[in-house]
Amino acid sequence: MLHLDTGNTGFMLLCSSLVMLMTPGLAFFYGGLVGRKNVLAIMIQSFVSLCWTTVIWYVCGYSLCFSGGDGGVIGNLDMAFLRGVHLMAPSPNDSIPLIVHVAYQMMFAIITPALITGAFANRVTFKAYFVFLTLWLLLVYFPFVHMIWGNGLLAKWGVLDFAGGIVVHNTAGLAALASVIYVGRRRVQDSGPHSIPLVALGTGLLWFGWYGFNAGSEFRVDATTAAAFINTDLAASFAGVAWMLVEWATTRKPKFLGLLTGSVAGLATITPAAGYVSPQSAVLIGIASGIVCFYAVALKNSLKWDDALDVWGVHGVGGFLGIVLLGVFATKAYNPAGADGLIAGNPTFFVRQCVAVLGSSVWAFAFTLGMLWLIDRVTPVRVEEAHEQMGLDAALHGEQAYVELA
């Protein structure tokens, strides 16, 4: 039965709006990082997820994630087309309507596959991406949402993921790595970020939206909500500074782009732990994130993986690290509904977190490779070399972000 709390309901509607804002923020973040001829091509990949994922979520996505299948890998179609979602239907947290839970979780589904797009910038046809978006949601995202947040297999096993270390960042980052390996390197190298101010705008929007992403995952307003909020900011700030200092020591110059990227790495890394750890632990997680993700990107560069916008190094590694560090720092003192981690004397929980994130990494990587191979049998995944030379804005979309004046 619904016991409507107007404060919680209003808060969750605000958080849903904040998470929605993250997808345009991601479009600006990625758009600034690519060259002038490919800005619209990468931005549309985020915005089409905003629209098309909503359609899939309405048709079957919410149902596959949150109906039936207790202890299983995927739900059922009992709530397809939002069947049973009416004004007085209670959500898993019975103080907010089910329809609000549908909306909030939909915003997570929208941004997760959009994260992957930064890895294969300037190389993938729009038709192939559209098919990829659909299949990836069905075969990777929906199963992990159900297994962790829908009372599925991993939830029953005791795995915790507050706001998406496995569900969002680790799976997207490993899918990005698989995409890079399958699609191959760019034939035409970008001259570098065409607009760092656009990247800064995108970072600001992502950071702002992330408060709804993490604090909203408590689904009510309480002390844990406040802890998740401050932990989000602490981790992002310490990670940004850590990345900047390490890069400064390496290149002899403090880089604005490094500060921005490090902050996003910190946001990704604290996501699974935000509502389960203390602020002091969030500081340590942020510092670890800035350093580890910086060297992950350096490793990627040395191995010559053409992950154009460092999705694996920031989101894949950040999500992995966050789940592992949650296993270390979790404490019931900050969330009685959570768990105690390794430091609090519970090595079993730490092991479960490590096994779960290793499993999610293998699943996301393997399924993504398989999907791309199948899509390539139906429609070419990689763009023609002439289109890559021309730039995808004009070649695929017939539009330009910047019109050259005569």
pLDDT for position 93: 85
Q: Tell me if 344 sits within 8 A of 90, measured CB to CB.
A: no
**H-type alpha helices, 88-216:** 98-116, 126-136, 142-149, 153-157, 171-183, 196-215
Say how far apart CA 286 and CA 288 lie, in whole Å.
5
Phi and psi angles of residue 166, each rounded to the nearest 5 degrees, phi first: -85, -55
Say how far apart CA 387 and CA 371 lie, in whole Å.
23
Say how far apart CA 141 and CA 112 lie, in whole Å.
8
28-75 pLDDT, tens digit per residue, is 999 999 999 999 999 999 999 999 999 999 999 999 999 988 899 999
Place 192 in a pLDDT band, splitting at 50, 70 and 90: confident
What is the gyration radius of the CA atoms in the chain, in angstroms? 20
pLDDT for position 244: 98
| Mean pLDDT along residues 279-294 | 98
Task: Return the number of other C-beta atoms located less than 10 Å from residue 154's C-beta.
Answer: 26
Say how far apart CA 20 and CA 49 lie, in whole Å.
11
- Amino acid, res. 317: V
Q: Coil, strand or helix: which one is 297? A: helix
Say how far apart CA 111 and CA 136 lie, in whole Å.
13
Q: How remote is the C-alpha of 5 from its chain's centroid?
A: 29
Q: Tell me if 79 sits within 8 A of 67, measured CB to CB.
A: yes
| Mean pLDDT along residues 107-130 | 96
Say how far apart CA 129 and CA 53 lie, in whole Å.
13
| Mean of per-residue pLDDT scores for the chain | 96
**H-type alpha helices, 304-404:** 311, 317-329, 347-378, 385-390, 392-397
The answer, yes or no, to whether residue 404 has pLDDT greater than 80, is no
Q: How many residues does the chain have?
A: 406
pLDDT for position 405: 57
The answer, yes or no, to whether residue 352 has pLDDT greater than 70, is yes
Q: Tell me if 99 sits within 8 A of 85, measured CB to CB.
A: yes
Q: Residue 393 gets which letter from DSSP?
A: H
Q: Which domains does the chain have, with CATH numbers?
A: 6-397 (1.10.3430.10)
Say how far apart CA 341 and CA 284 lie, in whole Å.
15
Q: Tell me if 41 sits within 8 A of 392, measured CB to CB.
A: yes
The answer, yes or no, to whether residue 146 has pLDDT greater than 90, is yes
Percent of the chain with pLDDT strictly greater than 70: 100
Q: Coil, strand or helix: which one is 400? A: coil
The residues with which 97 forms a beta bridge, in sequence order, are: 90
Q: Give the helix/strand (H/E) hosting 295.
A: helix 279-302
Lowest mean pLDDT among 92-96, 181-185, 217-221: 92-96
pLDDT for position 180: 96
Say how far apart CA 198 and CA 26 lie, in whole Å.
10
pLDDT for position 94: 84
Say how far apart CA 76 and CA 90 lie, in whole Å.
19
pLDDT for position 231: 98
Q: Tell me if 140 sits within 8 A of 368, measured CB to CB.
A: yes
Q: Coil, strand or helix: which one is 90? A: strand
297-347 pLDDT, tens digit per residue, is 999 999 999 999 999 999 999 999 999 999 999 999 999 999 999 999 999
Taking each helix axis from N to C end, the angle separating 279-302 and 223-251, rounded to the nearest 10 degrees, works out to: 40
Q: How remote is the C-alpha of 51 from its chain's centroid?
A: 17
Return the half-sphere exposure (C-beta side, CA atoms, 13 A cut-off) of residue 142: 24
Provide the token pair at 110: 């929208």
Q: Tell me if 90 sits within 8 A of 146, measured CB to CB.
A: no
Indicate whether this model's pTM tops 0.85: yes
